Structure 1
């Protein structure tokens, strides 16, 4: 989930990036902002493994940490940060904010462009992986979230009264005596 994408066919994924690998890692720091204790992964074969795929950029190729689907190839991540809080598989028939056609990416170098306007002010993100490349289960080793984090500001409820037409009795004005000065 990133701001720009690179297609395959170049043999090594992200060959046209303007960024050095160390700089690119800084762009993928949103995993630090995830409330990892509230993160939920549905259909994971081992409880808690879904949390393992949100990790630093430089650990993206680490094959020791992954999540594998259980009953079928579907995985559903509920990441507390726009979709539905605590989305379930019953909710997956709804139109997604954006859908991606994923490619095999063993080196975790591919980026998928997002529709930025749909992902501004995200507080909760759900990622639904519907299928894989033909296996009975799905394994995910890394999900990188790229973007800027801003602290949420809570606004208290404000009660306002608006007048459609002013009531003259509510707006009494003292008599105004015009002060005119003449210059000769």
Structure 2
């Protein structure tokens, strides 16, 4: 593979090969629109992880580290994983980025829930998700999958919960492994919200028409008094 134009790739085993694909397009858009700096890593909660804090560790991976073998999130008692990932403010999610090694332990179905910090495996299984996406089966050299989300469903997002429900082993392998999770989208500035709030809080009493004949409203005298 020609060396020029690929100096930012040090994972030679994961490039797509001589397919005419310009890898420079992979790097810049992902960095420009990644929500990495808006994630509250210390508040990430992962249920059924075999190793403590491994869920947070794969989200903490930078874009340059996305194909590294370690750290890796691995499920414990069965194939399901539940991850709660909060943001520092409101975001608009555009897509989720996922990398897994090309094995049958790779996750298959992903349910996403918006702004829910109260889910366990039971409720996540029963509730209708904000969106469900199918994760393609990884093959050697596939790299990171970018799974587009329905943007209309992901405005004003303050947290996302990921429910990896099964994997590509079709029940034969009870361990699910995920190597990298990232998010692309838009961080929302909140500076306009207080303006709206203050306007509502300082509502003009004259805007509220007094209802005649109702006791206690605006000090009105009841008929006959």
TM-score, reference length from structure 2:
0.60
CA deviation vs aligned residue, 1:77-109 (integer Å, no higher than 9, x gap): 101122312422132111111101111235433
Structure 1 range deviating more: 121-130 or 21-30: 21-30
2:57 is the counterpart of 1:24 = no
Partner in structure 1 of residue 160 of structure 2:
125
Partner in structure 2 of residue 70 of structure 1:
76
Q: Which of these residues, 164, 183, 186, is aligned with residue 148 of structure 1? A: 186
SS in 2 for 1:120: coil
Structure 1 range deviating more: 65-74 or 81-90: 81-90
Q: Which of these residues, 105, 118, 121, is aligned with residue 89 of structure 1? A: 121
SS in 1 for 2:49: coil
Distance 1:139 1:103 in 2: 14
Deviation at 1:31, TM superposition (A): 2.2
TM-score, reference length from structure 1:
0.73
Aligned-residue CA RMSD (Å): 3.0
If asked which structure has higher relative contact order (CA below 8 Å, sep 6+), I would say 1
**Greater helix share, 1 or 2?**
2
**Greater strand share, 1 or 2?**
2
2:145 is the counterpart of 1:110 = yes
Q: Is there any run of 5+ residues in structure 1 with no aligned partner, and where?
A: 1-11, 171-184
Structure 1 range deviating more: 61-70 or 49-58: 49-58
Distance 1:18 1:47, change over 3 A: closer
